[in-house]
Structure 1
């Protein structure tokens, strides 16, 4: 009976009998009929609403707004504007950009609709653009337009010594002569190779030097050294011929700011010398890098080992260094005040300790050279210490946003630098990861019945924590490491797990104590202990590097990096289900990357000085030099994932030829002028020799004349050493390259001519095979092959991509004509130029051997 009653449903039961209701306690007299009182919501319906509310975009956005996400995204939009400024075709006027920013900001403030958030985001993007334009106007330095040898005199602003004992001087130029430059750069960095007396900071220096403008990207889409040099205020690089001299009695009137800068530079140098005096070898060089950012003395082997193993981050002064210095001062002052009970109970000693820590952090920032990572760490530490002064809690992710905003407000150009990107990516990712872990643990009920973990378990947790930290930081920075350096570490986590305890427990604490006790002369013992720790870290780096040098990612498209950066921002800034939307830009980046991997690589690369060219093959890079410039070749190798060098074959005479693997000699220039008829005959024979189909994709060089090669699509390339061969190359090849600034800018035959002058404007060139309909036929006369029976592309076509070609602040020097003293507008885009065969070329190619 009871069971039957329990199973019986009420036939005419009311809604209240079927469903529980939620009543409004503020109105007890309300009608409880759910059909009449909308304030009464059924519990079942409310549960469904709760489920759907988790998928409500508006509610998720409101929740993110409550967590302060708007402030975080404001800094991200500001950074986006600063980054967009770099890719614009020309420099936007600062006043116009600022006016547009103010107008959009006023519109956002006066708008009450949902459009307000969109206008606010647009305002922050425009503010980033305006800030970048202001920095460019504020810098406005002179960049050397072309290489020159001149006598230079100036004042030494700073100096560094490398691992070979050579001095590098940063010189403020006062004058040049023999010849006198019309546009001398304000500051140059010069290497002194010869032994010479010490030239102190602030002294006047003079010497014969070779100057050259900062180099642009080694190939389109790679790292631009000229951009960084421009915003670092350096207009030229070079070296002294022989030892530089000192100009006695030539004192320069220094202002207050100059005296502070010189004092800081001298202090950094003194600290570096003291560290290297106590700690010999690479350990001392690494200690100097971690203390005052002096990296020049680190050997190439240790640098390479740190790069391969992912330990290079310890060389940059970052949050670890800055926080330990501030923590030691903060803790020491509080303990000192605690020894005097009257002071500790009467005065706010915690705030006094915070002020002392701020002073220590500021001093450390000055002696570190104020690099981007040190600026970011200093701002974050100061924000947290100021929060202590104001009796408020500091929000760590907000600290990251504040630090990024302040740095970009002063130096917007830093937004595209690898130091800024990797530093903030690692910090934000770690804060988000450990913040989520801490929030999860806060929601757990503490269990007081469990015993304390054992010593072994605590060390196990420490090692796991280091591994997770390395994994998170490596994943966050891997995006930008692949974009800028085209390489990722395979064993970075192993090296960091083993080395970081040594750095955290031995190296950094004793290094900080050495700095604090250095004025008292008590630093030697602390430096020696620090050196022992660094020797262990270096040994770890070399040992792990022996496992392998990671893997080359090749050149990463900019769109992929931008999309992955957006995904990272979504992951670290959001807390609701909106975090899952990071999958959208990740999938888009994967599709773009897959399409890029399927695309054909370049056929040919040409350096911006025209001295080096490389043919891309499946087994490596075939160049026109037996010993190519490592600076250019190494960048090409990592960007193309082709590390093997294939030297040219050198034809000594008409019968003797050295194969590529036996090449040991560079082609040399002849002493006598070359008869035009002989030049035409030599070029014709070289072109006909390519028709046999042998040694395709390898340069064949004739000493003192030229190198010639045939690309995979039948295009013939000639690299010339003598101007006498320009005419024959224009008539008989498709692409002619000569490292001489000829007045001739193009071939009348239609072949493409690259000279030192044209490449100065366009920068490095990448040659691609063009699809049908994209280009014009380059070898119409050889459509069906030649007498040797070799088969060629019926209509081989090609297109170009160039590194420069835009009149921007850091490329403007490329378009200066010293003859007229004026600037010329950039020429046509090289990618739009296609080649045709001349009648002479067709005639030469139709000859049967």
Structure 2
């Protein structure tokens, strides 16, 4: 029974760790300690209680069953006192496949060849560790574009003082539990601007929102500077990020940033300045994003060069195009973003609604 529990715990624990980025180390021990009580006390007592129930003799079997369940709960509490789950972060797919194949070889074969399974398990463990493990993302974007995280050495900096607990906890688990770095607030009086996007006065007024935030971001990099949750700026690894929820600020944001994230469903799909544009409309198709900052483009090169083939296809919907500076300015060097999308254009019955266009009443499938 102990060996069966051990094998079952390892088999399910491997895939649980891959999907949920944590290992319930105490769960296996609790199962092994509670197995005798369940097998020899709880289940037999329940069977006897069911058989004697028509004769009104089920009281003592149920009492014995209750004592066994109390013992199981006591074991769970005892093991839980040792500590909670172990955060292990993201495990690459090839590491999970190698370790899973090793576990199958170790359990299923009967000759000495089964010892080769330990080598495969060890190879999976090595593939999950730096420098063989994939590099962690630098920027995380939620699927609605309202929550953005910067994976800095000091912690996970976000554009929300109180981010969505579920989403942010998943990010922290995947990144091995970094602390939360809230945004630095600025005067909300900067938000009152004109609504005419094409007038010179309106453009100057809009600049009064973004320019102070950009200056503050330069003085304090790797932290979001926010006039509100919907108007934020940050500089991280030579990349300028602006997050907005107002359509009239898209133009000024494209002129000033390398990455513009708009939490509104606008039809605009690219920045003429060459900045990478992400909108809630593009996120509806791509899902949440994990972005890695690779290097800086030479002047005039199109965004997206240097991304891997797997992620370049997934990120075409959210990248900008062109390399010419806005309003006739000379092109500037821009970082290369390697963008990995959660959905990557894969259509499933539970995701097909993301491609529905209510205007044409049809599906715009990739």
TM-score range for the pair, normalised by the shorter chain length: 0.7 to 0.9
How many pairs were matched up?
331
The verdict on how the C-alpha distance between 1:554 and 1:523 changes in structure 2, with shifts beyond 3 A counting, is farther
Q: Secondary structure at the match of 1:508?
A: helix
2:159, 2:55 → 1: CA distance? 59
- Residue pair 2:224, 2:232 contacting (<8 A) in 1 also: yes
- Residue pair 2:213, 2:232 contacting (<8 A) in 1 also: no
Q: 1:649 aligns with which of 173, 176, 184?
A: 184
- Residue pair 1:807, 1:825 contacting (<8 A) in 2 also: no
Corresponding residue of 1:682: 209
> Aligned pair 1:724/2:259, yes or no?
no
1:824, 1:737 → 2: CA distance? 23
How big is the shift at 1:543? 3.5
> Aligned pair 1:620/2:159, yes or no?
no
- Residue pair 2:139, 2:148 contacting (<8 A) in 1 also: yes
Q: Secondary structure at the match of 1:641?
A: coil
1:611, 1:515 → 2: CA distance? 55
1:518, 1:678 → 2: CA distance? 80
- Residue pair 2:216, 2:225 contacting (<8 A) in 1 also: no
- Residue pair 1:470, 1:492 contacting (<8 A) in 2 also: no
Structure with the bigger percentage of strand:
2
Q: 2:354 aligns with which of 814, 817, 822?
A: 814
1:626, 1:477 → 2: CA distance? 36
Q: 1:703 aligns with which of 217, 228, 231?
A: 228
Instruction: Give CA-to-partner distance per residue, 1:206-242, whole Å, 9 cap, x none.
Output: xxxxxxxxxxxxxxxxxxxxxxxxxxxxxxxxxxxxx
Q: 2:339 aligns with which of 771, 793, 800?
A: 800
1:703, 1:498 → 2: CA distance? 53
How big is the shift at 1:683? 0.7
Q: Secondary structure at the match of 2:290?
A: strand
How big is the shift at 1:715? 0.8
Corresponding residue of 1:824: 364
- Residue pair 2:41, 2:64 contacting (<8 A) in 1 also: yes
Q: Secondary structure at the match of 1:594?
A: coil
2:67, 2:194 → 1: CA distance? 62
Instruction: Give CA-to-partner distance per residue, 1:479-515, whole Å, 9 cap, x none.
Output: 2221122111333454334333332233333344455
Length-normalised TM-score, structure 1? 0.36
1:592, 1:485 → 2: CA distance? 18
- Residue pair 2:233, 2:240 contacting (<8 A) in 1 also: yes
- Residue pair 2:138, 2:291 contacting (<8 A) in 1 also: yes
- Residue pair 2:99, 2:123 contacting (<8 A) in 1 also: no
1:589, 1:553 → 2: CA distance? 14
Q: Which moved more, 1:565-574 or 1:751-760?
A: 565-574
1:627, 1:737 → 2: CA distance? 19
1:705, 1:566 → 2: CA distance? 47
Corresponding residue of 1:740: 264
Q: 1:631 aligns with which of 149, 166, 173?
A: 166
2:274, 2:174 → 1: CA distance? 31
The verdict on how the C-alpha distance between 1:723 and 1:771 changes in structure 2, with shifts beyond 3 A counting, is closer
The verdict on how the C-alpha distance between 1:720 and 1:639 changes in structure 2, with shifts beyond 3 A counting, is same
How big is the shift at 1:629? 1.8
Q: Secondary structure at the match of 1:800?
A: strand
2:135, 2:156 → 1: CA distance? 15
- Residue pair 1:621, 1:646 contacting (<8 A) in 2 also: yes
Corresponding residue of 2:302: none
The verdict on how the C-alpha distance between 1:795 and 1:815 changes in structure 2, with shifts beyond 3 A counting, is closer
The verdict on how the C-alpha distance between 1:518 and 1:755 changes in structure 2, with shifts beyond 3 A counting, is farther
2:26, 2:174 → 1: CA distance? 21
Can you give the 5+ residue segments of structure 1 that lack an aligned partner in the other structure? 1-464, 656-668, 782-793, 827-849
1:822, 1:472 → 2: CA distance? 49
The verdict on how the C-alpha distance between 1:570 and 1:599 changes in structure 2, with shifts beyond 3 A counting, is closer
How big is the shift at 1:562? 1.4
Structure with the bigger percentage of helix:
1
- Residue pair 1:604, 1:614 contacting (<8 A) in 2 also: yes
How big is the shift at 1:587? 5.1
Instruction: Give CA-to-partner distance per residue, 1:406-458, whole Å, 9 cap, x none.
Output: xxxxxxxxxxxxxxxxxxxxxxxxxxxxxxxxxxxxxxxxxxxxxxxxxxxxx
How big is the shift at 1:750? 1.6
Q: 1:570 aligns with which of 92, 102, 105?
A: 105
How big is the shift at 1:568? 1.9
Who wins on radius of gyration, i.e. which is larger?
1
1:485, 1:560 → 2: CA distance? 15
2:54, 2:233 → 1: CA distance? 64
Aligned alpha-carbon RMSD (Å)? 3.4
Q: 1:691 aligns with which of 212, 218, 233?
A: 218
Instruction: Give CA-to-partner distance per residue, 1:690-725, whole Å, 9 cap, x none.
Output: 222x2x2222211265121111x1111122132222
How big is the shift at 1:647? 1.9
1:517, 1:728 → 2: CA distance? 79
- Residue pair 2:23, 2:87 contacting (<8 A) in 1 also: yes
1:598, 1:704 → 2: CA distance? 34
2:288, 2:209 → 1: CA distance? 29
How big is the shift at 1:624? 1.6
> Aligned pair 1:752/2:276, yes or no?
yes
- Residue pair 1:767, 1:800 contacting (<8 A) in 2 also: yes
2:365, 2:269 → 1: CA distance? 15
State how 1:378-457 maps to structure 2 within 5 Å.
Answer: none
